[in-house]
Amino acid sequence: MGKVTLDERLVIDLMCWHLEGLHEPDREQRIKAGLQAKLDAIGRRRMYTQSRTAATPEEREKARQAYLDAAGIHEDFRWSQTYEERRQQHDD
């Protein structure tokens, strides 16, 4: 497992919640939102990595589409070619 960076505000909220016992509804919401945002970012990063390192071009393209969907990239702003097709054009 790699390292994860958390926002300072989230770390302070977590410390107050767990160490000081300050269980306030606003703090709880910030903690949940911050952790969910971080979990989403980790998932997107894994999808991106898979899109670049999968064993076959088909697996890479499937992972690329999943990453673009998760990142909220609209269809109109996506390359119509796969990474391999663009790389091949560039090399020619």
How does pLDDT run across 5-55, given as a tens digit for each residue?
A: 999 999 999 999 999 999 999 999 999 999 999 999 999 999 999 999 999
Question: How many domains, the chain?
Answer: 1
DSSP type of residue 77: G
* Structural domain contains residue 2: no
Q: Helix, strand, coil % (nearest 5) of the chain?
A: 75, 0, 25
* Structural domain contains residue 67: yes
Residue 76's domain comprises 8-91
Cα–Cα distance, 60 to 48 (Å, whole number): 9
* Structural domain contains residue 27: yes
pTM: 0.73
Q: Give pLDDT, residue 46.
A: 92
